[in-house]
Amino acid sequence: MADDKFDAIVVGAGPAGSACAYVLAKAGKNVLLVERGDSAGSKNVSGGRLYTYALEMIEPGMYKRAPLQRKIVREQIMLLDQHTATTIDYFDPRFAENVPQSHSVVRAKLDEWFASEVEAKGGTVASGILVDGLIEENDKIVGIRAGDEEMRSDVVVAADGINSMLGRKAGLFSDLEGHAVGVGIKETIELPDSVISARFAVKDDEGVARVAIGCTDGISGGAFLYTNQGSISLGIVFNPAQAAKQGRHIQEILQDFKMHPAILALIEGGTTIEYGAHLVPEVGYRGIPQRLYRDGMVVIGDAARFGINTGLIIRGMDLAIVSGLAAAQAILQAESTEAVGPMYMDKLEELMLLGEERAYQNFHQIFEIPHVFREVPKLANEAMQFLFTVDGKVPTPMVQGLMGVVKQNMSLGQILADGWKVYRSI
Amino acid sequence: MSIKRLSPEESLAVDKFSVDEGKPHIIVDKNICAHCSDRACLVVCPARLYQLKDNQISFEFAGCLECGTCRVMCSEGGVTSWNYPRATFGVSYRTS
């Protein structure tokens, strides 16, 4: 293999790796995209929703070829108590117009398609190959090892996901820490498209993205629901450190959520066809490693721990794609392999990825406020109960009744302290 | 079938696995785990592959969802080696 030196070897055919390889192949570079799954996407799990602008940056109109699920036109926030639920539903049909803002996605389909696009541009895709390590010569990364095989290139792009072994093997960063990640678990529930559209009040090509709190036994974290074509993705992301202290198994908490009457009504009659798990970077800008490159190597996507979670907006795949583009542009424009890394960092700034990360850099502190995950949703539901209950008796005066609900759940001091924390975080 | 509460085993039963028999990709040293008081693995492994049997941590690698949570949350180093399964083995997601 030593004779077949590639311009770039990209490890991992997720959105980051495929985006990078696509741009390089399109520019005529000799690129190898290596994937450990039998097919791209077969090892991947996401919520998931993809914000379309990222694909537009790779190539305008490209999203039209992608196997995207439903255009998201309803953004929903759900607050759960044991038996009750309060849901805020923001409907905006403009989100589906022109270039739709976002789509639900199924990674097995999306990633397989994206890898095929790389092939169509002349890139080489090698699936079913687990990369064991890097080849290093004179303090420079010059290729990869997979079993007995060695493959060489000018640049290695590590797009090997949140557990990035390559980043650690290259000495760029240490392993993830429990407080900086979320563990996401998810069931895919099969349901006929017509049933999904009717239950969520959307057209057949349009869909819903929902976040929910109050369903994690008080653990920092939240649930999500996305409507796909013929299925619903339903899951929860937990802070694993808090889950460990709390003691109930997370799979069991997901079952509670699934069987909550307000959720069950949406999925009733469906069939669970898959159960998946994945780690997600949870502390945004502050979780991004100091070093994302060395001579001959750059780190992109989940491996670089790019993520934005405001509680309402959860982003990862779009940032992965943008980082793949940044790496590809750097590889195409740098005059030496040494210059690729610094230029990659410049491109991350230029493409605004790091600016966006910085804008949200304190948001994760909101998820450290314990009352957000139990008391706040409980309070909201009890307030609703008070407001909507009619029993033929003289009601408690409005203000007194609502204050009573508040005081049962939180003290005024706690509310002020939490409010201040939220203010400081955003 | 309709929606019902699933046990961890039932959840895993819907997934597609190719088990690399006799070649675990994660190695757990029970002697180290014996001194661990956190034992986060018991509740955070999404597949519930870490269980307490006769007061000892037991680990089963078949059914692993390859997420990495056990490695990240292991506080005493009982997870002595964590790798992805060899190529072609492990979980194959179709609809996630």
For B19-84, give the CATH class. Answer: alpha beta
Q: Are residues A36 and A158 in the same domain?
A: yes
The more confident residue out of A412 and B76 is B76
Q: What is the CATH number of the domain that holds A197?
A: 3.30.9.90
Name residues 219-248 of chain A within 8 A of B (Cβ).
231, 233, 238, 240-241, 243-244, 246-248
Q: What is the pLDDT of residue A2?
A: 46
Q: Do A276 and B84 touch (CB under 8 A)?
A: no
CA distance A396 to chain B (A): 40
Q: What is the pLDDT of residue A3?
A: 56
ipTM > 0.85? yes
Q: Are residues A28 and A113 in the same domain?
A: yes
pLDDT digits (tens, 9 = 90+) for A387-403: 999 999 998 999 999 99
The answer as to whether A122 is a domain residue is: yes
Q: Are residues A55 and A141 in the same domain?
A: yes
Q: Do A107 and B96 touch (CB under 8 A)?
A: yes
Cα–Cα distance measured from residue B23 to residue A44, given in angstroms and rounded to the nearest whole number:
22
Q: Do B68 and A162 touch (CB under 8 A)?
A: yes
Cα–Cα distance measured from residue A375 to residue A410, given in angstroms and rounded to the nearest whole number:
7
Block residue for tokens 């509310």? A415
Q: Are residues A419 and A371 in the same domain?
A: yes
A281, A312, A340 - which closes a domain: A281
Cα–Cα distance measured from residue A110 to residue A58, given in angstroms and rounded to the nearest whole number:
15
Q: Are residues A246 and A275 in the same domain?
A: yes
Q: Are residues A21 and A129 in the same domain?
A: yes
What's the burial of A8, exposed, middle or buried (CB within 10 Å: 0-12/13-18/19+)? buried
Q: Do A255 and B66 touch (CB under 8 A)?
A: no
Number of H helices, E strands in chain A: 14, 19
Q: Are residues A52 and A120 in the same domain?
A: yes
Range of the domain at A398: 365-425
Amino acid, single-letter form, for residue A244: A
Nearest by CB to B69, from A44, A146, A183: name it: A183
The answer as to whether A128 is a domain residue is: yes
Cα–Cα distance measured from residue A267 to residue B2, given in angstroms and rounded to the nearest whole number:
9
Nearest by CB to A240, from B12, B44, B94: name it: B44
With an 8 Å Cβ cutoff, is A183 touching chain B? yes
Q: What is the pLDDT of residue A412?
A: 85
Chain A positions touching B68 (Cβ under 8 A) are 162-163, 176, 279
Q: What is the domain partition of chain B in residue ranges? A: 19-84
Q: Do B72 and A177 touch (CB under 8 A)?
A: yes
Question: Which DSSP string do the residues of chain B spell out, in sequence order?
Answer: -------HHHHHHTSEEE--TT--SEEE-HHHHTT-S--THHHH-TT--EEEETTEEEE--TT-----HHHHH-SSS-EEEE-PPPTT-EEE-S--
Q: Are residues A269 and A417 in the same domain?
A: no
Number of domains in chain A: 3
What is the three-class DSSP state of A189? strand
A351, A376, A393 - which closes a domain: A351
CA angle at residue A87 from A81 to A92, to 5 degrees? 160
Q: Are residues A200 and A344 in the same domain?
A: no
Read off the pLDDT of each residue in B38-63 and give the average, rounded to a whole number.
96
Whether the bond into A341 is cis, omega within 30 of 0: no
Q: Are residues A17 and A139 in the same domain?
A: yes
Q: Are residues A249 and A307 in the same domain?
A: no
Q: What is the pLDDT of residue A89?
A: 98
The answer as to whether A143 is a domain residue is: yes
pLDDT digits (tens, 9 = 90+) for A76-88: 999 999 999 999 9
pLDDT at B50 over 70: yes
A231, A256, A281 - which closes a domain: A281
Q: Are residues A222 and A267 in the same domain?
A: yes
CA distance B8 to chain A (A): 7
CA distance A189 to chain B (A): 9
With an 8 Å Cβ cutoff, is A36 touching chain B? yes
What residues of chain A score a pLDDT lower than 70?
1-3
